Amino acid sequence: MLTSEQLSNIAEWRSEYPDLGFIFDAPEMVAAFCNIKPPREKGLANEWASLTATLDVNPQ
């Protein structure tokens, strides 16, 4: 069971990156991201966008 803070973190991830919200339907992704707040600074958001673009091009 997730704490209210963990649920809040997942909600923030979904809000900050709505195009990637579907990944938070997977329990393993919720477990990986529930203790991490999403980056809010522009530089970090751009870095995240770059990483996801790389993952889209090179799926594992």
Average pLDDT over residues 9-20: 89
- Report pLDDT for 30: 94
Q: pTM for the whole thing? A: 0.63
| Nearest alpha-carbon partner for 4 in 50, 12, 55 | 12
Indicate the number of domains in the chain: 1
Q: Which residues contact 38 (CB under 8 A, 6 or more apart)?
A: 9, 12, 13, 16, 17, 48
Span 16-47, pLDDT tens digits: 888 888 998 899 999 999 998 887 666 666 77
| Nearest alpha-carbon partner for 56 in 19, 12, 9, 15 | 19
Distance CA 55, CA 21 (A): 16
For residue 33, give its domain range.
4-57
User: Contact 2/30 with Cβ under 8 angstroms?
Assistant: yes
Average pLDDT over residues 38-59: 71
